Structure 1
Amino acid sequence: MFRQNNIVLIGNSLVEQSKSIAHLNKRVINIDSFNDDDLIGENYKNSNLFGLVNDEVLLILKKLNLDKNSTLIIVSSDYERDKNYYKLLQSYGRVIGNSQQTIAKTQDYDELSKKLKKNNIKFPKRTLSKNASSENFLIKNKFLSGGFGIKRYEKKIIIEKEKEYYQEYIEGKVYSILFLVKNNRDYKIIGINEIFCKETVHTDFCFSGAINNIVLDDKKNIYLDNVINFFVKEYELVGINGIDFIISDEIYFLEINARITQTSFLYNNFFKDGYVDAHIDSDINNNFSFASDTKMHYACFENLFSKSSLSINFDLKNYSFVSNIPKINTHIEVGQPICTISVNSDNEKKAKKLLSDNILLLKNKLKPIEII
């Protein structure tokens, strides 16, 4: 446990984080880009679509006038790049997890590529060269996550070289591996997830959900452990982090998310007091807070997106499997998330079947709304 009384969560879709720490009897303050109805705590909206730390977030914190010595701040999105917002956040409390500088270093593709090659970590080739686009390539944005901005290459598409690049398309299944790092750089793997993707108006490969506790063979596990070890030592990571990868003929590294990811809540019961507390405890107290009697289970979720612009005029709180619930009369644009469906089971196939059934149930209930 930690002595600080105020916990400030900054990001988007913070519902599961707020639920994870509700039992700790702390003052929870959510600064969320969606500001959903089922958030637990005091809620403030950040108008930035991706929940980035910016001047708006700083203004909210300034008005709250919290005791700096009794405040912890957890950022699960990213930072605007025009200022050192990590340093500015430190004026309001202790920031848990990796710094803005560390996150930026993991996103510096040129330097990262050299290090990956040196450590024999395979990754899809990237280029700014238009000649390479004649091959099977994607167009990706350097600064967005969750699949936002990913497009299949088509002729006549011109990339914005300051923000975009071409990446080789590799056929295969996408996964993520989560791991927890203490501040002395000791780490433990939390679990492996299979990632679900959808095509929306904003992207051809939008992250839409996942299922946890995927089992891979020993050879793959050893390789992934070496990848994690490289990132932990090279970037001095701390807290919960995630690495996305694709399995084709071999394992290819895709990206690292040096922060709490949306899939982290799938492992909430793996920890004594939940995953957010474990994230804090690893940084402040140099502890692993894993529960001792965790039973094997499968948890999965899927985000539903809107095919058309709409205003929410129905209450979804009666459905126990629905979260990230928008407030009544919230306007949702095309391609934006409506809500999240989550399920648990002791069997992987049962979990996927239950998820599919609940999605169908909700789609039928919400007719004539068009849902992806």
Structure 2
Amino acid sequence: MNVESWSMDGKRIGLIGASCRAMAASLVAGGTSVAVADMFADFDTCRIAEATPLKRYPWSAPAWLGKASVDAWCYTGGLENYPRLISRMSRACPLLGNQAETLRQVRDPFRLAEWARKHDFQFPEVARDASSDSSGRWLLKPLRSAGGLNIQHSTSADFSSCRFYRQRFADGVPMSISVLSTPDQWQLVGACQLHVGSDWGTPTEFLFAGATTLPLARLEALPELEAIVAALHQESGLLGLWGIDVVMADGPIVLEVNPRWTATMPLYERNLATRLMPRHIAACGDATFDRLPTSANGTSGLRILYAQRPVRCTAEHLTELSARFDLSTEASLAQPSIADIPNVGTEIEVGHPICSLYADGADEAEVERSLADQVTAVQRILQ
């Protein structure tokens, strides 16, 4: 079921994904009623919305949607890897986001390689098996993944081509570009430098650990990035909010497209002092949208804190976190310093994410100092 025109007035929106807290905050702060179904139903998510943990994510999502009494729904991280599931759910309830056919195109690395050749932008060589040129460094990447999960160096010719593909390693600075679009127009929302791997406290080399915003106006490669966005928009018809992961070397090298709300988007909300999810919903229903502000206020950063040893969250932990960080509903909706907080009794294994930390400052150095202080504080409390 396609949404040709949509107004949020009096409507209730369902949100589904691995973690929906930030999307929910973006909508609730603007007065929209939401219901959330994700893997965690974290403490602060429950503070701001009706939240349900999906025990068999994503396969239990259709049943939840059928009972949730929502007028439309949106998805975020992970669900884009299941276009058949999304197609089934969109027939049952209007989807405010990219439909299954669009997902099949933009999540196909071999389709992206075709578009790169056609529009003359950089995209690493990809292969379905190990029979291609084996020289140089290659990565083994899952066809269904998000956040850098299960990416590894390709050291063996023995792998399942129905679950993985090979991509030639591209060296450079990892970045994320966010976009807002309708069928007829698009606008860059912002850019971030990504923090990836064990240097940032993750258990594996390519796992997402956070990001800091970069001023669009200062990007030397801005014209190239705009040309890439225009090409992808032309070929795919992407709607609403979406992102592109790139590596910046002698120019931007596209790695993949994320056709939904991404983890870096709350940073732009802090920078631009505006809510993005209402704009996403408007863009999915209309041919035009009001352009976003172009000047950002300072720099914002995100850090995902991963467990270095097993953690069991207690009521005492929440009391101490509240003394260090404001855990009120108002703070969760405004500009939280800590978010995605586990509920009392939650047991977190080594290498699993504990929470998200945010900071704002005049520049990247100030933001990183603040995030480091917050990491130390949370580790002292929880670990």
TM-score, structure 2 normalization: 0.85
Task: Give secondary structure in 2 for the equivalent of 1:364.
Answer: helix
TM-score, structure 1 normalization: 0.87
Equivalence for 2:236: 235
Q: Deviations over 1:93-133 (max 9, x none)?
A: 32111112211111222232122112111111122225644
Task: Give secondary structure in 1 for the equivalent of 2:144.
Answer: coil
- Relative contact order (alpha carbons < 8 A, sep ≥ 6): 1 or 2 greater? 2
Equivalence for 1:15: 21
Note the residue ranges of structure 1 that are not aligned, 5 or more in a row. none
Letter in 1 for 2:187: K
Contact 2:106 2:236 in 1 (8 A): yes
Task: Give secondary structure in 2 for the equivalent of 1:262.
Answer: coil
Q: 1:6 aligns with which of 7, 12, 16?
A: 12
Cα distance change of structure 1 residues 303 and 84 upon mapping to structure 2, 3 Å threshold = same
Contact 1:185 1:238 in 2 (8 A): no
What is the CA distance between 1:219 and its match in structure 2?
A: 5.0
Matched, 1:89 2:97: no
Aligned equivalents of 1:252, 1:81: Cα separation in 2? 22
Task: Give secondary structure in 2 for the equivalent of 1:234.
Answer: helix
Give the helix-richer structure, 1 or 2: 2
Task: Give secondary structure in 1 for the equivalent of 2:35.
Answer: strand
Structure 1 range deviating more: 26-35 or 287-296: 287-296
Contact 2:83 2:100 in 1 (8 A): no
Aligned equivalents of 2:271, 2:150: Cα separation in 1? 33
Cα distance change of structure 1 residues 219 and 325 upon mapping to structure 2, 3 Å threshold = closer
Cα distance change of structure 1 residues 147 and 96 upon mapping to structure 2, 3 Å threshold = same
Equivalence for 1:223: 224
Cα distance change of structure 1 residues 133 and 364 upon mapping to structure 2, 3 Å threshold = farther
Letter in 1 for 2:347: H
What is the CA distance between 1:216 and its match in structure 2?
A: 6.5
Equivalence for 1:190: 189
Aligned equivalents of 2:80, 2:222: Cα separation in 1? 35
What is the CA distance between 1:251 and its match in structure 2?
A: 2.0
Aligned equivalents of 1:294, 1:347: Cα separation in 2? 14
Q: Deviations over 1:118-173 (max 9, x none)?
A: 2111111122225644521221111102101111233x473221111222222211
Cα distance change of structure 1 residues 135 and 113 upon mapping to structure 2, 3 Å threshold = same
Letter in 1 for 2:375: I
Structure 1 range deviating more: 304-313 or 209-218: 209-218
Percent identity over the alignment is 22
Q: Deviations over 1:151-197 (max 9, x none)?
A: 1233x473221111222222211001111102x33011111100011
Letter in 1 for 2:275: G
Task: Give secondary structure in 2 for the equivalent of 1:335.
Answer: coil
Note the residue ranges of structure 2 that are not aligned, 5 or more in a row. 1-6, 327-336
Task: Give secondary structure in 1 for the equivalent of 2:265.
Answer: helix
Cα distance change of structure 1 residues 189 and 30 upon mapping to structure 2, 3 Å threshold = same
Structure 1 range deviating more: 342-351 or 256-265: 342-351
Matched, 1:75 2:75: yes
What is the CA distance between 1:214 and its match in structure 2?
A: 3.8
Map 1:145-160 to 2 at 5 A. 145-154=146-155, 156=156, 158-160=158-160
Contact 1:133 1:153 in 2 (8 A): no
